[in-house]
Structure 1
């Protein structure tokens, strides 16, 4: 693919991703590897947006600091703006997953601080195909096998992947032609990682017709099916789903009348909103919830069956230690505000809990289940309860939940 063709593919991807209105300022995540270095140079040559560059040093390899420094040298040479970000692993959970989530969080915070509305990522067609194979091996369904999207909005940030139609080797050829250096991560040859196994398997699958092009095509088909499923969910919501402030309510009879896959999507969406967890529970766990006859904890939530309804509330154990200032968003979706302003010092938002409910003897008048009231947000001054709006003790405060 020539420079002209690459530039044309980049322009088309950006225009499609932004509805033909490309931002004047774009953030670029650049590790120093071939894909992101090619993306940065292509965007610079394209020249239709002011570029802000960020590099995340995971500190997992001795060479990583040098790679970030090489990006800084390129950026300085071309008069661009560069920020080096540092991620440190807390030794909790899966390293690769933690690194991905940490990198995304750092980039999101950086973009917000810079006032950027979008960040470009260097994912390629090869990444698309490898991800498909990895998820296929894990038994993923339509959502997991769906293609990465060229543009995806999350909160105030739009993540764009302009090179999803471009092969990795094409970008390497571009860099060689331009005389630009890039860093090769040694972990790209480490067969303990699933992605490397998938990458090596591609050579075996190619003669069978399972090429990168075919796998990405199938992934695109899955994305279309996912869009259809999302459309069906939106329409089913109107018939079987409602909200009680921060809880989600389902008409159990109407829910059970839907196809199993649609039931699972609706429950999963509700669990995700109440808990703030972006990952879906396993299908088996969702199926068990539908047949539950007693409250069941799942995904940081409590599913409460009662009188033909299914209520999803926040689980007390998930928020019992969560405390924020009264000017912050609590549990990712609650704002507590006092009418007329004028907030005293030393106030915090925390879950009501048993101690708080003991100070609100009339909480039953709220007509909410005890489990739901227990995990509701309240204003505290030390051990003294100031306000519990959802339990009926407002004291001039109002609880507002962010829209799902």
Structure 2
């Protein structure tokens, strides 16, 4: 199957094309001071490292001295992971790039292991960036990764924000995280490594059926036969990300307009009930979510959840109970994410909920 731009899905990236993808991040005129390249040794990240080295050798890029550090996180979860990290170090040296191995030490959880490993990986990468004076971390997520992410979140019941997938750029603990290859099929990066002679390894966990992402990965070819290709899933993510940004902006403006003086002191927030009830439900839902986050941040209480409420519960309480109460003039009190939401007398008030009484021991 050919791509809309005419390129075959397994055509290697040329030097000019890869440099164009990387230029906003590490090219001439970039606003960043330095970058950490996250390289596991797989084909995607190996291509990122190799293409970055090639780009820096371009005539237009030479003499800049933009600081790049390649980082490999050794999670210590598989035999041979240390040798794989050493292999990345060897290729980095061959390409003229600095390299660091970051070890994930300490006890490993038995449940949600991949999530814990991901969190540890980003924490270690951010720590290295700060240590080296870099303000950017680049990963090699691909079009295929985006499609898998959208499918995983669809299976989890995510709304538009979740189905918008991975953003090309986001913040990471005060730094920037960039994904320059998010529009590139994985097969093209594999072909790039093969053409350039860059050795890579394949992580067996990527095909391990114990993990949900690996199971969904096996479904993608079947879905593509029905027309649901990785490109279309990625296009869906982009459209939803665009729409979600517009709705979020509208919700932020509405929150500012609807806030009223709160008499409950610090950690309380009050919204105009009639104005909230008159908003489109998609915007009203986000306004309440933003208000919950604002109160959580102001209260800083252990009882308040550090995470946003799940969409299903937010919908059930806001759309099913709070908004109908505001429209009818009835009173309604519900708890959500460690907060008390009280609707009545034309207002919706947010305040920290009282801790539940512990049963006697």
Give the TM-score range, shorter chain.
Answer: 0.7 to 0.9
Report the CA distance shift for 1:195/1:79 in structure 2 as closer, same or farther (over 3 A): closer
**1:250 CA displacement:** 1.9
Q: Which moved more, 1:189-198 or 1:9-18?
A: 9-18
Tell me, yes or no, if structure 1 residue 69 matches structure 2 residue 107: no
Secondary structure of 2:71's match?
A: strand
Q: Deviations over 1:175-226 (max 9, x none)?
A: 1112121121111111222211221111111221211122211221111111
| Residues 21-36 of structure 1 aligned to structure 2 (within 5 Å) | 21-36=30-45
Partner of 1:375: none
Partner of 1:312: 350
TM-score (norm 1): 0.69
> How many pairs were matched up?
317
Tell me, yes or no, if structure 1 residue 265 matches structure 2 residue 286: yes
Tell me, yes or no, if the aligned pair for 2:91 and 2:198 is still in contact at 8 Å: no
**1:126 CA displacement:** 0.5
Q: Which runs of 5+ in 2 are unaligned?
A: 1-10, 298-305, 323-330, 357-361
Residue of 122, 125, 131 corresponding to 2:149: 131
Partner of 2:24: 15
Tell me, yes or no, if the aligned pair for 1:10 and 1:162 is still in contact at 8 Å: no
Tell me, yes or no, if structure 1 residue 147 matches structure 2 residue 165: yes
**Counterpart Cα distance in 1 of 2:161 and 2:92:** 37
**1:142 CA displacement:** 1.1
**1:73 CA displacement:** 2.5
- Aligned-pair RMSD on alpha carbons? 3.0
Partner of 1:298: 336
Residue of 48, 58, 63 corresponding to 2:75: 58
| Residues 177-256 of structure 1 aligned to structure 2 (within 5 Å) | 177-241=195-259, 245-256=266-277
Q: Which runs of 5+ in 1 are unaligned?
A: 319-404
**1:284 CA displacement:** 2.9
Partner of 1:96: 114
**1:254 CA displacement:** 1.8
**1:228 CA displacement:** 1.7
Secondary structure of 1:23's match?
A: coil
Tell me, yes or no, if the aligned pair for 1:256 and 1:263 is still in contact at 8 Å: yes
Tell me, yes or no, if the aligned pair for 2:209 and 2:215 is still in contact at 8 Å: yes
Q: Which moved more, 1:199-208 or 1:303-312?
A: 303-312
Task: Between the two structures, name the one with larger relative contact order (CA 8 Å, sep ≥ 6).
Answer: 2
**Counterpart Cα distance in 2 of 1:254 and 1:19:** 48
Q: Deviations over 1:68-115 (max 9, x none)?
A: 222222334424142413154552752222222222222223322322
Tell me, yes or no, if the aligned pair for 1:13 and 1:150 is still in contact at 8 Å: no
**Counterpart Cα distance in 1 of 2:246 and 2:30:** 26
TM-score (norm 2): 0.77
Report the CA distance shift for 1:243/1:29 in structure 2 as closer, same or farther (over 3 A): farther
More strand by proportion, 1 or 2? 1
**1:248 CA displacement:** 3.3
Report the CA distance shift for 1:209/1:301 in structure 2 as closer, same or farther (over 3 A): same
